[in-house]
């Protein structure tokens, strides 16, 4: 996993330095800016995972920067404010900041808040349905199959055949089971169609990877023999 990138927008050099030092030693990649306009450009170019945004900036203030960020992204924002007034905090959260810290703050507290926000992000991430093997990565939501040599072109039916085999990797699926799962129980035809499609998928996999990844279990059915990644 790549290290999360954090953009620090703070015009006070001493604070920026301390924040950077603590975040870097906590394992984050840090980029920084002293003004809002540059921060917007950096956010666009680097797509940080989180932005630490000082409210009081020369020129475009933090409130304005947050509003403009929100127009085009839902990046996490942690506001820094010197003002303790409740109204400012509420305004900051309303404009879309995910959390705020009032100055002076402890750098450890800042790192803890950053970690909490990024954990939130991981929890909210959609479940990953992708199946990963040594020679194959199969993504059912995108209908994509990738091999170490690049993407593999499969027809929708071929993809469904491979997906069913992947769900039961290492175990045999009978022709009848494949027929039911891929073509549906209402399919009017015989199990010969399964042999044809499995044959096509097997040939494509072997061409792409050089490996015989689908095994025939004579008189029974087929199984995918690729090892889990
Ligand atoms: Ca400031």
Ligand 1 geometric centre to CA of 31 (Å): 17
198-210: b (≥16 Cβ within 10 Å) or e:
beebbebbeebbe
Ligand 1 geometric centre to CA of 184 (Å): 64
Q: Which residue carries 């093997």 as its tokens?
A: 133
Ligand 1 geometric centre to CA of 16 (Å): 10
| Res 3: pLDDT | 87
Is the distance from CB of 68 to CB of 40 less than 8 angstroms?
A: yes
- Which tokens go with 207? 């061409």
- Which tokens go with 17? 């330095």
| Res 180: pLDDT | 87
Fold of 5-122: Rossmann fold (3.40.50)
For the segment 6-51, what is each residue's pLDDT rounded down to a tens digit? 999 999 999 999 999 999 999 999 999 999 999 999 999 999 999 9
DSSP classification of residue 4: P
Q: Which residue carries 């690729």 as its tokens?
A: 226
Please give the Cα distance from 62 to 52 (Å, whole number).
Answer: 10
Ligand 1 geometric centre to CA of 198 (Å): 64
Tell me the residue ranges of DSSP E strands in 92-140.
Answer: 99-102, 131-132, 137-139
- Which tokens go with 114? 């950053």
Ligand 1 geometric centre to CA of 26 (Å): 24
Please give the Cα distance from 7 to 80 (Å, whole number).
Answer: 13
With 60 as the cut, is the pLDDT of residue 126 above it?
no
Phi first, then psi: give them for residue 189, nearest 5 degrees. Answer: 180, -175
Residue range(s) in the chain whose domain bears CATH number 1.10.10.10: 131-224
Q: Which residue carries 């956010």 as its tokens?
A: 43
Please give the Cα distance from 17 to 167 (Å, whole number).
Answer: 50
For the segment 136-194, what is each residue's pLDDT rounded down to a tens digit? 999 988 889 999 989 999 999 999 999 999 999 999 999 989 998 898 867 777 888 99
Ligand 1 geometric centre to CA of 187 (Å): 68
**157: cis peptide before it, omega within 30°?**
no
Please give the Cα distance from 45 to 68 (Å, whole number).
Answer: 15
Least confident of 47-61, 94-108, 155-169: 94-108
Residue range(s) in the chain whose domain bears CATH number 3.40.50.2300: 5-122
Q: What is the CATH number of domain 131-224?
A: 1.10.10.10
Helices 107-124 and 13-25 sit at what angle, rounded to 10 degrees? Answer: 60
Coil vs helix vs strand at 153: coil
């Amino acid at each position: 996993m790549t290290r999360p990138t954090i953009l620090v927008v703070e015009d006070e050099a001493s604070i920026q330095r301390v924040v950077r030092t603590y975040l870097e030693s906590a394992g984050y990649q840090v980029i920084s800016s002293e003004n809002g306009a540059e921060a917007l450009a950096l956010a666009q170019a680097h797509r940080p995972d989180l932005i630490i945004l000082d409210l009081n900036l020369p020129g475009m203030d933090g409130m304005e920067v947050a509003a403009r960020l929100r127009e085009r992204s839902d990046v996490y924002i942690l506001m820094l404010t010197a003002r303790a007034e409740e109204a400012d905090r509420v305004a900051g959260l309303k404009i879309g900041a995910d959390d705020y810290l009032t100055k002076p703050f402890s750098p450890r507290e800042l790192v803890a808040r950053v970690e909490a926000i990024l954990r939130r992000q991981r929890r909210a991430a959609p479940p990953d349905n992708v199946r990963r093997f040594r020679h194959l990565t199969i993504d059912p939501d995108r209908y994509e199959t990738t091999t170490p040599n690049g993407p593999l072109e499969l027809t929708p039916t071929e993809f469904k055949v491979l997906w069913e085999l992947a769900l039961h990797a290492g175990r045999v699926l009978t022709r009848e089971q494949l027929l039911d799962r891929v073509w549906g129980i209402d399919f009017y035809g015989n199990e010969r169609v399964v042999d044809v499609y499995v044959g096509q998928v097997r040939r494509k996999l072997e061409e792409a990877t050089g490996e015989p990844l689908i095994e025939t279990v004579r008189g029974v059915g087929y199984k995918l023999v690729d090892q889990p990644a």
